[in-house]
Amino acid sequence: MRANLDIGGAIKHFKVMEITVTSPMQAFIQRQISHGYRDAEEVARQALLRWMSEEDDTPPHIQNRLDEAANSSFNAGDRGNIDRIIASC
């Protein structure tokens, strides 16, 4: 399934953005349309807006903690490191 999103000149180089979705995403879009969304474009627009708002809700310094984990001696499963990172947020 392909959907064209009219982004109204928000990005100077693009007027329309084409996206390709997987079968599960296509099924989700069809369910949303059956629940009242106008079309696939509206479903995609709302999903992107929600994603962007959730991105803004990221706890302070979380990227710093993730970077620290990626660049240090962080060992997966070492609860002491996990507790230390969580405590510093």
Residues 53 and 69 in one domain: no
Which of these, 40, 48, 31, lies nearest to 4 by C-alpha position? 40
Q: How confident is the model at residue 27 (pLDDT cuts 50, 70, 90)?
A: very high
Same domain for 50 and 67? Answer: no
Q: How far is CA 33 from the centre of its chain?
A: 21
Please, what's the b/e burial string for 56-85 (b: 16 or more CB within 10 A of its CB; e: otherwise)? eeeeeeeeebeeeeeeeeeeeeeeebeeeb
- Asked whether the predicted pLDDT for residue 12 surpasses 60, the reply is no
**Within this chain, do residues 53 and 73 fall inside the same structural domain, yes or no?**
no
Q: What range does the domain containing 84 cover?
A: 59-89
Output the pLDDT for position 14. 60
Give the confidence band of 8 by pLDDT, cuts at 50, 70, 90.
low
Task: Say whether both 20 and 31 belong to one domain.
Answer: yes
Domains of the chain: total: 2
Reported as a single tens digit per residue, the pLDDT across 33-87 is 999 999 998 998 898 888 877 766 666 677 777 777 777 765 666 677 777 777 7
Residue 56 to residues 13, 50, 51, 89, Cα–Cα distance (Å): 25, 10, 9, 16
**Does one domain contain both 46 and 89?**
no
Q: Are residues 42 and 2 in the same domain?
A: yes
Does one domain contain both 48 and 11? yes
